[in-house]
Homo-oligomer: A and B are copies of this chain.
Amino acid sequence: MKKFLSKRAKNTGRSAIREVLKFTKQSEVISFAGGLPKPETFPSRGLAESARHQIRDNYQQSLQYGTTEGVEKFRKEMISWLSGFGMEIELENIIATNSSQQAIDLVCKAFIDPGDVIFCGLPTYLGAVQAFSAFQADNVGVPLRRDGMDLGILEKKIKEVEETGKRGKFIYIIPDFQNPTGVTLSKEKRERIVEIAEKYDLIIVEDTPYFGVRFSGKFKKPISTFDQSGRVITLTSLSKILSSGMRLAVTVGPEKLIQELVTMKQATDLCTSTTTQWIAADWLANNDLSEHLDDLHNYYRENRDAMLDEMEKTFPQSDDLTWTEPNGGLFIWVTLPEEMDAESIFQKALEENVAFVPGHHFYVDDRGKNTMRLSYSLLSTEEIREGIKRLGAVIEKELKPVSN
C-alpha cells in the first residue's frame, strides 16, 4: 500500500484532535474539547423554506452545474453583507468555495511548491496546518500576543527565511477571535502586517471564519481593507453563522489572485454546490441577517460570560495561570504555569468527567505543552459552570501538589 502513496500523502496526518474527541464522547463527560457551532443558532426553519422554494421552483439552476466562480446571486448577497464592513468587492473579486478549508487548499494549490515557507501563528488552526503539510510547505510559527501575532518576531523570521534562500510565499493569519486562542489582531497590527507583506513581497491569507461571531468589543476592519498593492486574500464562511452543513464560504481578493483560485478550483471540483448556494442566497435575500446574528451573539456571549465568570471564581489564583477573554468566536485559551503539562491535566480531568484539547496540538513546533483550549459553544451555562468547577479543582490539585 505504502508504495503507492505520494510524498504528500506520507506527509499528511489525520487531525490529532479527532483522537482527543473520541475520549470525550461519553455522555457523563462535560466536554470543552469540540469546536462545533450550536446548530440551534442556525435559522433552520427559514433555510428549510428557502430550500423547498429554490429546489422546487428554481431547479433549472439550483439542481444544475454552475460556474466555478459561484452563483452570482449568492456572491452578490455576500458582497452586500461584507460591504457593510468596509470591504470593496466586485463580482470579479469573489469566489464561492466549498468551505473555508477548501479555500486554504486552493490557496496552497495555487501558490505552494514543496519547501515554500508559510508563516503562521503559534498556535494556529490545525486544519490549516494539515493543508499546508499536504502541500509539503515549510511552516514557520510566530508567537501570538494578547493583540495578535508578534509582528517583530514575524519580521525577524521572514528575514531568517530570506537568508536561507527559501521562498516565503504567504502569511496565514486568523485576525478575529483566532482558533484556538480567541485573540484578535489589533487595528495597528492590521495596518502594520500589510506593510510587512509589502516590504518582503508576501501574500497575506486572512482567514476569518468567526467574522460574523463578534458579540462584544469594537469591530475591527479586515486586513484586506488596508491593502493597497493587491496582496491580501480574505476567507470567510457561513459555517458559524448560517449552517456548517451547507459548506459555504467565500474568498475575496484582487482579481488576479482570485482567477488563479478559479483555475485550481475547476480542476478540483468544478463548482461549489449550486443547491446550497441558492438556498443561502434565498435566505439572505429574504431575512434580516443582523437580526439573526443578534440572537446568535446573545447565545455565545452568555456562554462566554458564564465560562469566564466561573473561571474567575474557581480557578486557582496565580500570576502564571492566565486566560484570554475573547470578544467573539468559540474559544478561550488557558496558559498554565510553564512547568505544568496540559496532557497530564487532560488525563486527570477525564477522570473527573471534564475534557478540553491540550494546546500543543495547535503548534507547528514543540511548544504549548502548558496550554489548553476550552470551547463554550455547545454547552448550557449550567454545564459550563459545572465543568469549569471540576477543571479548576484538577488544576488546583496539580498546581499545589499535596506534600504529605
Instruction: Name A's B-contacting residues (CB within 8 A).
Output: 1, 3-9, 12-15, 36-37, 39-40, 42, 44-45, 47-49, 51-53, 55-56, 59-66, 98-99, 101-102, 105, 109-113, 116, 127, 130-131, 133-135, 169, 201, 203, 239, 243-247, 256-257, 260, 262-264, 266-276, 278-279
Contact = CB atoms under 8 A, between A and B. Distances in A.
Contact of A9 (B3, B12, B263): B263
Contacts of A65: 36, 239, 244-245
Contacts of A55: 44, 47-48, 51
Given A59-B39, A169-B4, A244 B44 contact: no
Given A9-B111, A36-B64, A47-B63, A247 B266 contact: no
A105 B260 CA distance: 17
Nearest to A254: B1
Given A48-B51, A266-B14, A266-B15, A62 B245 contact: yes
A56 B135 CA distance: 39
Contact of A12 (B7, B267, B271, B274): B267
A227 to B, nearest CB: 15
Contacts of A270: 99, 101, 127
Given A52-B48, A59-B42, A134 B109 contact: yes
B244 A64 contact: yes
A59 B243 CA distance: 9
Contacts of A63: 39, 42, 44, 47, 243-246
Contacts of A15: 266
A134 B276 contact: no
30 contacts: A1-B256, A5-B111, A9-B109, A9-B111, A9-B264, A14-B263, A14-B266, A39-B63, A44-B63, A47-B55, A48-B52, A48-B55, A49-B52, A51-B52, A51-B55, A61-B245, A65-B239, A98-B269, A98-B273, A99-B269, A101-B269, A105-B268, A127-B266, A127-B270, A130-B266, A134-B268, A245-B278, A246-B275, A247-B269, A275-B276
Contacts of A275: 243, 245-247, 276, 279
Contacts of A109: 6, 8-9, 134
In the complex, which of the residues A44, A243, A268 has the most CB atoms of chain B within 10 Å of its own CB atom?
A268
A63 B280 CA distance: 12
Contacts of A59: 39, 42, 44, 47-48
A226 to B, nearest CB: 19
User: Which 3 residue pairs of A and B lie closest in terms of their CB atoms, listed nearest first?
Assistant: A44-B59, A48-B56, A245-B274
A175 B13 CA distance: 33
Contacts of A1: 256-257, 260
Nearest to A103: B269
A194 B364 CA distance: 43
Given A51-B279, A65-B245, 18 more contacts: A4-B111, A4-B203, A6-B116, A8-B109, A39-B60, A44-B63, A48-B56, A52-B52, A63-B243, A63-B245, A98-B269, A101-B267, A101-B269, A102-B268, A102-B269, A105-B267, A127-B266, A273-B273
